[in-house]
Amino acid sequence: MSSQGYEEELRSERDHVAGLYARLDAERARAKGEYRAALRGDGATPMERDVEVRARAKEVKRLDVADNGLCFGRLDAITGERSYIGRIGLFDEENEYEPVLLDWRAPAARAFYVATAASPENMRRRRQFHTSGRRVVDFTDEEFGRPGEDARGDAALLAAVNAPRGEGMRDIVATIQAEQDEIIRHAHPGVLVIEGGPGTGKTVVALHRVAYLLYTQRERMERHGVLVVGPNPAFLNHIGRVLPSLGESDVVFMTTGDLVPRLRVTAEDTPEVARIKGSLKILDVLAAAVADRQRLPENPLPVELSDVTVRIDAETAEWARQEARDSGLPHNEARAVFREIVTYVLTERAVARIGRGWLTRENREAWEDLRVDVHEDLAESDQFIAALDELWPVLTPETLLGPLYESRERLRAAGADEALLRTQGDAWTVSDVPLLDELADLLGQDKAADRTADRERAEEAEYAEGVLEILQMERHDLMDDEDHLLAQDLVDAEDLADRFVEHDTRELVERAAADRDWTYRHVVVDEAQELSEMDWRVLMRRCPARSFTVVGDLAQRRSEAGARSWGAMLEPYVPGRWVYRSLSVNYRTPSEIMTVAAALLAEFAPAVQPPDSVRACGVQPWSRQVTEDELPAAIEEFRRAEAGREGTSVVIGPPGVPGAVAASETKGLEFDAVLVVDPDEILADGPRGAAELYVALTRATQRLGVLHRGPLPKALAGLVEAGTA
């Protein structure tokens, strides 16, 4: 194409994209008008209004995400038909809803990502736009069918991977590569494992797969939502913008420490204790710990009634305990069986003693009346309740597990390793979360507490209903001045309606995060190699359909309780229902840095093939030996140098290095520049120190430096000494 022809095409494309934005603006105006009408809710019940408002709000939110990069490319078919590809779909309502912009997830848009000269998918050309705000800056064309051309052009890709990093992960909707697209659109209904080395884009591919599933299975998935599990809050914050930028908001982000609502993790286990807690062998310990709290009295327990004193002896308690255990009910629910048997025995004994000498067997009515009296007496007896609490206490996961950790005797009775002993039982760790979750099932609910809660909720619902009616009348009084109808009015009403038993108006994300029993339609697990066997039990409970996208890299595993193979973790839950896909191209780490990291990988995981870097950056990674006194100044020098550059930077080091973060805290993150301090100490941190250092070395997208006080590890010999680069 001549220079003049290119300029004419560029003007034409700018006009076309401007027309798409005009259509987007019109769609937004329509959606916002419908949203305001839904807020008014003329003639609708509060519940109907709420449903309509939510639907209209979602539409407004979907349209709002499209301002940046609405249209990023064009496909020209060999038939002459043109299709524009973008972040959302737009349609021509006046022309039988013909698509004027294809959603990137639509089947017709797939060729944009997978067409090559060797396999053009009936396409003649792929055009990629480079935009700034709403304006097309330039474009690149890739013609299919030309001799010798068998790969897609990479100008847009290289521009994206070379761009300075911001505060969060960006979507890759405009630059999805063929191997990534195959995974994103994978139709397997079970568990899909995506493994890839550093920088292969496995996380962002998994998130785009969620967006694709929500697009193709929206009705099924929206009712339950999607759970994304990551290694730490920093990682979740880093990836948290990707799905909203794709118009998807029904997604809950959690670490494994968040899986039990309202639990605060305040401590950290040693690797050995984490390994013990992460093994399925701990299930026997938990079951034994529950059984140990179902006690027999050493001496008969007296219960004083109005007319007689009866006693709960070991024989009665043993019969009641066996009946309760045989019921198969969880501990708290089986307490009713235990109580029923004990109540029966004590009632018969009391009636026999009270009626001795005057009550005949023929007087059945008197017998029954007496039994009723004794039943009521027992029900109101504090001594009886105290005896039940001693023999079969109502337990929560916390009130069982905390005291277990604090007692050698209880640990021994449960067959537990004494390494679990600690002085503060309720100083919860991440490894305690799956145990507490398991105990929630083993213990079950306290039915009496449930009945009290039901009464309280009913009272709150009655109050909320009355207030909502008042708010509704106040809204109608303000209808003449539409500006007074603010979204805050709706929020206030929703806060009250949260108490409404029949209709919980909280957003799905809020409801799901607060409900331990919530089940999701799909779960994404990132850094999955770190999850223990017990962690997987929790996640499988959260997704009965067993629909997962599992993301990880076994070579980066640090946890002793983590996965050594995917099959060992997954086969017990989804036998034959999981598939494996790998990503082999490194889009983050330039070849200069990856060469150094690959040398380390060859030492601790020689069977693992490092990913191939898609680019070079032209900057050699360096090392510099410093003294103890020189280290702070050297770190500050790095920070000052990076402060003058665009992008992000981080210092990674072992504990004690001023201002440094641990390598484990940077998993899944990326920075323009990375300074690694004392790599020899990172290597020395337990058996997985090499994996930690590998993570640290592969966070950089442009520049890597290493400061070391001790000897430089032999695996890092490929670093250039500072000052000689």
- Whole-angstrom CA distances from 258 to 237, 252, 282, 443, 626 are 14, 11, 20, 20, 41
Question: Distance (Å, rounded) from C-alpha 563 to C-alpha 87?
Answer: 36
How crowded is residue 317: how many other Cβ atoms within 10 Å of its Cβ?
24
199 among the known binding-site residues?
A: yes
Question: 703 in helix, strand or coil?
Answer: strand
Q: Which are the contacts of 292, defined by CB distance < 8 A and separation ≥ 6?
A: 410, 413, 414
CB burial readout 134-153, b (16+ within 10 A) else e: bebeebeebebeeeeeeebe
Q: Are 297 and 316 in contact (CB under 8 A)?
A: no
User: End-to-end distance of the chain based on CA atoms, in angstroms?
Assistant: 42
667 among the known binding-site residues?
A: no
Name the DSSP letter for residue 530. Answer: G
The one-letter code for the residue type at 645 is R
202 among the known binding-site residues?
A: yes
Q: Are 658 and 626 in contact (CB under 8 A)?
A: no
198 among the known binding-site residues?
A: yes
Token pair of 572 as six digits: 């017990």
Q: Which helix (H) or strand (E) is 84 found in, with range? A: strand 82-86
E-strand ranges in 395-521 read none
Give the pairing of strands 522-525 and 548-552.
parallel
Q: Which are the contacts of 38, defined by CB distance < 8 A and separation ≥ 6?
A: 49, 52, 53, 55, 56
197 among the known binding-site residues?
A: yes
Give the pairing of strands 578-583 and 123-132.
unpaired
How crowded is residue 160: how many other Cβ atoms within 10 Å of its Cβ?
15
Q: Are 175 and 156 in contact (CB under 8 A)?
A: yes
Question: Distance (Å, rounded) from C-alpha 3 to C-alpha 121?
Answer: 29
Residue indicated by tokens 């089986």: 334
Nearest to 274 by CA among 424, 431, 138, 417: 431
Question: Distance (Å, rounded) from C-alpha 438 to C-alpha 458?
Answer: 30
- Cβ-in-10-Å burial (0-12, 13-18, 19+) of 481 comes to exposed
Question: Distance (Å, rounded) from C-alpha 451 to C-alpha 164?
Answer: 57
Q: Are 262 and 256 in contact (CB under 8 A)?
A: no
425 among the known binding-site residues?
A: no
Question: Distance (Å, rounded) from C-alpha 132 to C-alpha 69?
Answer: 8
Question: Distance (Å, rounded) from C-alpha 450 to C-alpha 446?
Answer: 6
φ, ψ for residue 72, nearest 5 deg: -125, 5
Question: 479 in helix, strand or coil?
Answer: coil
Count Cα neighbours of 353 within 13 Å in the Cβ-side half-sphere: 14
Binding site, by residue number, is 196-203
Binding site for ATP, by residue number, is 196-203
